[in-house]
Amino acid sequence: MAIRTDGRPGFLKRRAPLPSVDSIPAPRTADRELPGAAAPADPPSGERLQDTREAHSVGDGFDDVPGIADLRHRTIVIDRLSPGDDGAIPDPTYTVNGQFQPEIDIQPGEIQRWRIANAEPDRAMWLHVEGHTLHQIGQDGFPFTLLRPVTSIMLSPGNRAEFLIRATRSGRYRVHAESYDQGHPGGARPAVELATMVVSGRPVVSRLPRQLDEGPQMPIGPVVRSRTLHFGRDTPGGKWAATRITVDGRELDADWFHHEVTAGTVEEWTLINDDVFQHPIHTHVNPFQVVDVQGIPAGDPSWQTDPDIWWDTYRIPSNGQLTIRMYFRPDVTGKTVYHCRILPHEDNGMIGTLLIQPPADTGEPLPGSSPPRQAPRESRSSRRALSISTATAGSDGST
Ligand SMILES: [Cu+2]
């Protein structure tokens, strides 16, 4: 399925910060994630949802957009508890902000803004809210320009999404992850009850905003290079414990770089999955847009392939391939990585290294050559300070 073939990217006008749930160093990342979110050992259900730590923020691109700024908003982090040794907690047990199946209150007709992250180490959460439309306004920390009404949102491990939800009539509605087959030889992962949305109280009249804000855009200019990367797995002797999960046949080697790129350029990467698992690939520093996906299972509606959306985590279908277009922001150089966001896969070697070289000195200004400043998060003017300048990007196309 070809999604975009014009080869003419637009330009990155502004960008939201890139908050991620993937930022705490640990010897094995899966070990960091698995303890869950400090939930009680015997989690009671039906408590009111508590808000969670700002460290898990999903993006702040709408804090001053009319029609959104005043809404009640919730930051919701899905995670999984460590089962422990005594068998007291069923494995797996999924939590929402460290709580077990909490209640989320909302009035009839009220619109709330939900910012939701899948911090789970290895399973996709195909999010549904019973009887309700999710009006998506952002993905992976990047704001949309227009509302996208959807009936579900797929959250691979590491994905974040932001949406508006308008409550219908009084009642109790399931917030749940639908059963989904990630290509695991063990079959589809079962459905998960996450929370209950409780609609009650005085009805309110509300209207969804029509216009959001200006979303980031790809810079105009050539795709300077195309690359092909292979993601695979081999199991010497057929033992899972010895499984090597690799990028281009190699495991992580911190002294060697899979690829070198130049800051301020645009490249297209085709990621080929030689394995039966869907591998959600997460890029650090630079997000990307999806150009082409091949191998989406027939009848699987969970894939969002709109070419305008920016991502930092996206699945490669089982034995399929994904082509992404990545803009290496001009203000960041140095070493970084990309990896499978199924953390046991990353720990077993599915992590690639990238060296971002400074741009060649052509005497021409680069788009966004003023580095983004760290600014307070509250005001529109401070968000503009995080924007990448458009003045030079559109005029001469230099990248
Ligand atoms: Cu993987």
User: How far is the centre of ligand 1, averaged over its atoms, from the C-alpha of 271 (Å)?
Assistant: 12
Residue 21 lies in a domain: no
**Unique residue bearing structure tokens 């957009």:** 65
Q: Based on the fold, state whether residues 107 and 179 are members of the same structural domain.
A: yes
Fill in the amino acid letter for 163: F
CA distance 246 to 249: 5
CA distance 107 to 125: 26
pLDDT band at 253 (very low <50, low <70, confident <90, very high): confident
Higher pLDDT, 327 or 60: 327
User: How far is the centre of ligand 1, averaged over its atoms, from the C-alpha of 134 (Å)?
Assistant: 28
Mean pLDDT to the nearest integer, 225-246: 76
User: How far is the centre of ligand 1, averaged over its atoms, from the C-alpha of 214 (Å)?
Assistant: 33
**Domain boundary, last residue among 150, 184, 199:** 199
User: How far is the centre of ligand 1, averaged over its atoms, from the C-alpha of 280 (Å)?
Assistant: 6
Residue 292 lies in a domain: yes
User: How far is the centre of ligand 1, averaged over its atoms, from the C-alpha of 139 (Å)?
Assistant: 21
Q: Based on the fold, state whether residues 78 and 135 are members of the same structural domain.
A: yes
Q: Based on the fold, state whether residues 234 and 275 are members of the same structural domain.
A: yes
Task: Look at residue 23 and give its three-state secondary structure.
Answer: coil
pLDDT band at 173 (very low <50, low <70, confident <90, very high): very high
Contacts for 6 with CB less than 8 Å, ≥ 6 apart: none
Is 160 in contact with 341 (CB distance < 8 Å)? no
What separation in angstroms does the CA of 268 have from each of 113, 224, 226, 328? 34, 8, 5, 11
The structural domain count of the chain equals 2
CA distance 352 to 284: 11
User: How far is the centre of ligand 1, averaged over its atoms, from the C-alpha of 295 (Å)?
Assistant: 16
Asked whether the predicted pLDDT for residue 77 surpasses 80, the reply is yes
What pLDDT does 22 receive?
A: 54
Residue 5 lies in a domain: no
User: How far is the centre of ligand 1, averaged over its atoms, from the C-alpha of 159 (Å)?
Assistant: 14
Asked whether the predicted pLDDT for residue 344 surpasses 90, the reply is no
Which residue intervals of the chain are DSSP H helices? 29-33, 343-347, 380-385, 393-396
Asked whether the predicted pLDDT for residue 25 surpasses 80, the reply is no
User: How far is the centre of ligand 1, averaged over its atoms, from the C-alpha of 166 (Å)?
Assistant: 35
What pLDDT does 252 receive?
A: 75
- Residues bordering ligand 1, an ion, CB closer than 5 Å: 279, 340, 342, 345
User: How far is the centre of ligand 1, averaged over its atoms, from the C-alpha of 110 (Å)?
Assistant: 39
Number of Cβ within a 10 Å radius of residue 154: 22
Spatial strand order of the sheet with 266-273 comes to 244-247, 223-234, 266-273, 321-327, 288-294, 310-311
User: How far is the centre of ligand 1, averaged over its atoms, from the C-alpha of 315 (Å)?
Assistant: 9
Q: Based on the fold, state whether residues 103 and 251 are members of the same structural domain.
A: no
pLDDT tens per residue, range 266-285:
999 999 999 999 999 999 99
Domain containing residue 140: 31-199
User: How far is the centre of ligand 1, averaged over its atoms, from the C-alpha of 349 (Å)?
Assistant: 10
User: How far is the centre of ligand 1, averaged over its atoms, from the C-alpha of 56 (Å)?
Assistant: 22
Question: In the structure, how many helices (H) and strands (E) does the chain have?
Answer: 4, 22
Burial of 269 from C-beta contacts in 10 A (0-12 / 13-18 / 19+): buried
The domain that holds 142 is classified in CATH as 2.60.40.420
What pLDDT does 15 receive?
A: 36
What pLDDT does 33 receive?
A: 45
CA distance 11 to 68: 26
Q: Based on the fold, state whether residues 35 and 172 are members of the same structural domain.
A: yes
User: How far is the centre of ligand 1, averaged over its atoms, from the C-alpha of 213 (Å)?
Assistant: 34
Q: Based on the fold, state whether residues 144 and 53 are members of the same structural domain.
A: yes
Q: Based on the fold, state whether residues 233 and 175 are members of the same structural domain.
A: no
pLDDT tens per residue, range 118-157:
999 999 999 999 999 999 999 998 899 899 999 999 999 9
User: How far is the centre of ligand 1, averaged over its atoms, from the C-alpha of 282 (Å)?
Assistant: 10
User: How far is the centre of ligand 1, averaged over its atoms, from the C-alpha of 227 (Å)?
Assistant: 20
Tokens of 246: 């690799």
Mean pLDDT to the nearest integer, 84-107: 87
Q: Based on the fold, state whether residues 55 and 118 are members of the same structural domain.
A: yes
Q: Which of 52-61, 130-139, 209-218, 356-365 is the least confident region?
A: 52-61
Closest CA to 311 of 15, 1, 52: 15
Task: Look at residue 246 and give its three-state secondary structure.
Answer: strand
Asked whether the predicted pLDDT for residue 263 surpasses 60, the reply is yes
Residue 39 lies in a domain: yes
Contacts for 53 with CB less than 8 Å, ≥ 6 apart: none
Q: Based on the fold, state whether residues 233 and 191 are members of the same structural domain.
A: no
Q: Based on the fold, state whether residues 195 and 327 are members of the same structural domain.
A: no
Closest CA to 161 of 126, 208, 130: 126
User: How far is the centre of ligand 1, averaged over its atoms, from the C-alpha of 348 (Å)?
Assistant: 9
Tokens of 163: 């949406």
User: How far is the centre of ligand 1, averaged over its atoms, from the C-alpha of 59 (Å)?
Assistant: 25
Residue 182 lies in a domain: yes
User: How far is the centre of ligand 1, averaged over its atoms, from the C-alpha of 279 (Å)?
Assistant: 4
For the chain, give the number of residues: 399
Q: Could you tell me where the beta strands, DSSP code E, fall in 31-71?
A: none
Residue 166 lies in a domain: yes
What pLDDT does 20 receive?
A: 53
CA distance 225 to 266: 8
Average pLDDT value for the chain: 78
Q: Based on the fold, state whether residues 170 and 228 are members of the same structural domain.
A: no
Residue 205 lies in a domain: no
User: How far is the centre of ligand 1, averaged over its atoms, from the C-alpha of 340 (Å)?
Assistant: 5
Q: Based on the fold, state whether residues 66 and 115 are members of the same structural domain.
A: yes
Is 134 in contact with 152 (CB distance < 8 Å)? yes
Residue 26 lies in a domain: no
Question: H or E stretch including 145?
Answer: strand 142-150
